[in-house]
Structure 1
């Protein structure tokens, strides 16, 4: 399916080591206590897929410089790399080379921007799932819009605002995105036709380029890699034959060592200089990595102070009659006393806030100066690299001069040597020109690949158009199927008092017991309904020609369930309900494991969960034979 995405591997690039999480089809379970890095795994995936920023993670900031995410989209493999704690930096995208079984060294440098910017990561990903050039609510449709249905955050799993439907500027894109997933968006057909037209125009331009390159290669009788290899082998063999004859003739003559001694010393000196410069470059890169960690710490501390000051002002907007901690009545406020502590010197808090602001200003100044310094140090690397290139050129000149002396010294076979040197030089020029011509073959292959990919995308868009045009199911049928799946999932979850559960056909929101999910008054119920809602969209949206990404990441499904229930509803303190959720996820893996990918993180798991589903486990202290956290060497 053209819109499917599969996660292969997440790698945090560290200064001491790399931290890797590998994924598989079906259910991927990650377990561990709080503060072990579970949530950061999903956050880093979200960041690599185009989120404008990530949360402040102290251990990651102290240990890592960048994140890499390897993915599959429509049977094509890519690696996305983004720098951590520097949200303005462009993303690098590498494509997998099937022949060499590695990622190409070339990469696309993409901005973190909306899909209207064709050089953005959002545009790249939206194009790869064949949904580029669609517009909803007069705004470009983005990969990020559809990805919202693939990431159920910890802060949203019990939120009575599932898809931010209560915020109008989010809701305006939510409903059309839902319709695009199920191919029931009214304007989808026309938008797909427009996308197909643009893709054909792009292919037409590529055809012109391909024609020009092919005509050039035909004119020099070099049309494919095989002809290049054969020609180069012939020339190289011819050259080597001449070199062997030349060396045999030279061996019969004499050459005094004093003539070449200085050149040999110069060559040795130059090689040593290159080695020293390479060492300096390596040390400089390591130094910059340490500076980047320091920059991360400045960022973390700045965000902490901003949170303190913001919290102070928000907190003091309210007058409290009861203590928010112990719920005991507060004494009546006398003059300028503080409501909570009774402190008469209320200006003390203000002075502390001013001190925090002063500290924040100093931190930001330090951070900005550090960023400038890092840029200067990175420029020093470029200077060293240029110096390295200069010495490499000098080395080549010295070696050429030495070769020239060896080839030109006077001996009884001077005429034969000159003839052989001339022939070897001519062959070398032919090889150089052949390699330059081969670059045209490589360019041809690259454009042909882009053209083939474009043709495949055009075919897939055309199939989508045919599917939408010939779709016999009306919206009512889709909603009916979705509601059935939604009800069955809640039944598997053992939702107490389950009745009248469905997805509304107007706003596409879940109802249970005849009420909108947000009106049930139980966070335990909302947690189960939210998961069932996302899972039902995954199950139906991944079938046929629907446009779900086939991926769902769930953070902390145990929230408000079992022993962790925090909303006071004793019904949801039954551990059997949480176990029912896990059993359903296992059942889903058995039924659709090859078609979907589920990534679930949670604090612990029931005994019946098979170890094959657990891809990462942390224990918070490293005493049970498993790492204590994602960054598992922070104390070493």
Structure 2
């Protein structure tokens, strides 16, 4: 997929960097901010923000071309995972997004990282954090992981392959990204492997549990299921016999004689009478309470009527001859139907006679209620006395029944205790037998589940083996990758090691091998730079010729001449490396963009200088006063004028 950075601006400053198709260079002194520029480019492409202090909190705005669509991206350089990033399509559909940087938030269905992955049409996958650990959680493959093969960082270019030796998790991701890019990672097969891991884990747990149970049962009386079933059958039969004997013994108590039966009948009748009286007592108590509440309400109503009558006599019979407001005399005015003071018709109020009649009626109700309360109270007292008498009668009958049955119970007590003890022993033994059989049932269930899992495991292995058939397209891609890697090294005139001529990528680790030497054994920082550049360039060579490889077509190389040397044969190798990169970028100028940073100017012509930095013209422009101070520190004023 074509990916091109056209422009990046440091918002709030005059710094704008424009990039051309093909090969671009950012040059300048070591303190100018070249690596800081690369950090801004990585942040623009969805990586985590990791910038120098003077850039923290600032905002960058960049224009990128993804395929045939152009986007404007604005991002604040903060490490907060939910910081918002704004994206707007410059042409075409003119879509607009506002997304959290890397952590999904409520109300959003994607992050800035997800947007980049979808824009580049990269697969959305999650892979085990530790492939060899069955309990390892799945982690998503992010845009930073996919761009691993597109960015060579300064701190890694001359020491490692993408900084993976000291980062186990990153190395695992690197392998998965390689397999995804080149078709070695089959999502269907990956799903089968994930299921196989789950099945294997469950199978191991069940097998271990079953082995433990078998060892426990082997040393107990529950070792034989057949013996347990026979013993359980005999125990159930014996227990049924004992229970029948218990029923017979306890049933005989009711056959102690007519006196006992009569006493039991009288006790039953007495208990029924007690229940009836208790119900009546409760109802009468409720009635008394209700009557007392009614009595209180009637008393309160009578008092209110009394106050109304008093107020009618004392407060309404006034003839105002002097105004209560101003003290002036009030002349006779109005008629018998109006108030002489306000000349309004008084409201219709009940006549004092009607209030008095109502008070008499309430007083009668109070008297009737008091009589009802007295009658209910007497009835309640009678019921309580009857309840106490019946309760005492029930106690007396119980005492008589106890005396009547004590002789027979004494005779039967020993036999009842013996039968009860035997019944308890048999029930306990039956429970132990059931526990043993439950363990055997659990073992049988585990055996069935183990057999089911083993069948599923075998089926999954067969399906996984079927997906491992030789894929000619994948084999051809890997062959072309080896050829491109070898060709890139030869075009750089990289040093040869004569033990095993020929360079390739290890098919297990996917790490570069140079003439039989693994990357870790090169022991030369300059050679490691050449190998790293040849490695990423080889991937671009293959991806540019195979549309099925979803590698973004961009290369960012920070510190391309690190430890390569700038004299003699080393300088010639540096020129050849630049020439190979320029040739590839020119050949695929519409599809591949290469951005390199270097302390020195490119040793060949034809490379677009996107930015030139210095100690006085850094990435973050200094205010004029600070720039003048820096220039004064660098040399005398006369030299400044000459420059």
TM-score, normalised relative to structure 1:
0.48
Q: TM-score, normalising length from structure 2?
A: 0.48
Give the greater-gyration-radius structure (CA). 2
